[in-house]
């Protein structure tokens, strides 16, 4: 299972993959019918400010439980959904479901939604986002779209136009998985990002490697220069958290704070009953 959560390259070594995918057309068929069969759900993972320990929002993460195949990791099915085009409908379902959920919260917390390169380049993303915001009544400033750098470079001109249209709607835009692939400084400057999400592979390495720590410090320096807040992804240990605090990292997300769960598990954060003004604090102990 851990292998399925890592970078795409590890998937090659997952023995059950061949079995799961040998009938590729059946797999694509199942993906296309997953929405109407109610097989998708969203889990939510908390995000907190480091200086205050305040939970300010949640990332929505897609889960697929197919009756026959069981639970399938998004790192496995999203690339296939992208290749067969099903990601457009799926991405629309994710956006609508996540915004509708967030609109029910008593507290005006943020909700982050992952956007595929195919949605960015192929669909009518700004129109869809505008429609979903209207439909759900969610304040646009509470919606953050997470976009990976690799999805921008396919057609930089078009990507730039789409991101500016999204900014005009009042939504936030985060660069996801920074530090993987070919991160470029000029992209960070050229695109209207509101936040950098540093990939967990960089965060993980700071514990054991001086070089990785130096790379992270360089990222913080860069972000400061560009006046962009940094969220560290995949924070698992107290040592990682201490490093991030020492480097004045702005925000965190990871198993140390909370694993992705059905939103009901986070009712203490989303509901405002009787303590509307009380700040929501990060848990002292790990949620395992």
Does 47 contact ligand C2E by CB under 6 A?
Answer: no
Does 236 contact ligand C2E by CB under 6 A?
Answer: yes
- Binding-site member from 61, 145, 223, 249 for ligand C2E (CB under 6 A): 61
In eight-state DSSP terms, residue 281 is B
Q: Give the range of 97-105, 143-151, 219-227, 254-262 binding Mg ion by CB under 5 A.
A: 143-151
Does 144 contact Mg ion by CB under 5 A?
Answer: no
- Binding-site member from 47, 97, 114, 136 for Mg ion (CB under 5 A): 114
- Sign for the pseudo-dihedral over CA of 45, 142, 241, 187: positive
Does 101 contact Mg ion by CB under 5 A?
Answer: no
Please identify, using beta-carbon distances, which residue of 11 and 271 lies nearer to Mg ion: 11
Task: Give the contacts of 78 (CB within 8 A, at least 6 positions apart).
Answer: 62, 87, 116
- Sign for the pseudo-dihedral over CA of 217, 219, 221, 227: negative
Whole-number Å distance between alpha carbons of 39 and 41: 7
Please identify, using beta-carbon distances, which residue of 76 and 188 lies nearer to ligand C2E: 76
Site for ligand C2E in 120-179 (CB under 6 A): 146, 176-177
238-270 as b/e: b if 16+ CB within 10 A: eebbebbeebebbbbbbbbbbebeebeebeebb
Please identify, using beta-carbon distances, which residue of 178 and 266 lies nearer to Mg ion: 178
Does 5 contact ligand C2E by CB under 6 A?
Answer: yes
Please identify, using beta-carbon distances, which residue of 7 and 32 lies nearer to Mg ion: 7
Cβ contact 88:122 at 8 Å: yes
Does 146 contact Mg ion by CB under 5 A?
Answer: yes
Please identify, using beta-carbon distances, which residue of 75 and 271 lies nearer to ligand C2E: 75
- Binding-site member from 78, 99, 166, 188 for ligand C2E (CB under 6 A): 78
Q: What is the DSSP string of 199-259?
A: -HHHHHHTTT-HHHHHHHHHHHHHHHHTT--EEE----SHHHHHHHHHTT--EEESTTT--
- Cα–Cα nearest to 95, from 111, 73, 110: 111
Q: Give the range of 100-108, 160-168, 253-261, 267-275 binding ligand C2E by CB under 6 A.
A: 253-261
Does 116 contact ligand C2E by CB under 6 A?
Answer: yes
Please identify, using beta-carbon distances, which residue of 146 and 250 lies nearer to Mg ion: 146
């Amino acid at each position: 299972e851990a292998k399925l959560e890592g970078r795409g390259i590890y998937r090659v070594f997952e023995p059950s993959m061949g079995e799961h995918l040998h009938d590729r057309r059946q797999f694509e068929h199942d993906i296309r019918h997953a929405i109407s069969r109610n097989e998708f759900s969203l889990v939510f993972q908390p995000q907190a400010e480091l200086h205050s320990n305040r939970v300010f929002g949640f990332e929505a993460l897609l889960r697929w439980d197919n009756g026959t195949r069981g639970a399938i990791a998004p790192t496995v099915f999203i690339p296939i959904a992208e290749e067969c085009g099903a990601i457009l409908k799926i991405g629309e379902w994710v956006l609508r479901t996540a915004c509708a959920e967030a609109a029910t919260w008593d507290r005006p917390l943020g909700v982050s939604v992952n956007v595929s390169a195919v949605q960015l380049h192929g669909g009518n993303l700004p129109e869809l986002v505008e429609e979903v915001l209207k439909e759900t009544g969610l304040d646009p400033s509470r919606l953050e779209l997470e976009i990976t750098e690799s999805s921008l470079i396919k057609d930089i001109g078009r990507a730039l136009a789409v991101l500016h249209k999204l900014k005009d709607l009042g939504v936030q835009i985060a660069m996801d998985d920074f530090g993987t692939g070919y991160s470029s400084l000029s992209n960070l400057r050229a695109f209207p990002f509101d936040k950098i999400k540093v990939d967990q592979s960089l965060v993980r390495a700071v514990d054991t490697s001086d070089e990785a720590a130096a790379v992270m410090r360089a990222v913080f320096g860069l972000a400061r220069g560009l006046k962009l807040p940094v969220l560290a992804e995949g924070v698992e240990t107290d040592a990682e958290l201490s490093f991030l605090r020492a480097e004045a990292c702005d925000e965190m997300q990871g198993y140390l704070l909370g694993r992705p769960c059905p939103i009901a598990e986070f009712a203490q954060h989303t509901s405002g009953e009787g303590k509307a003004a009380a700040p929501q604090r990060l848990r002292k102990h790990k949620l395992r």
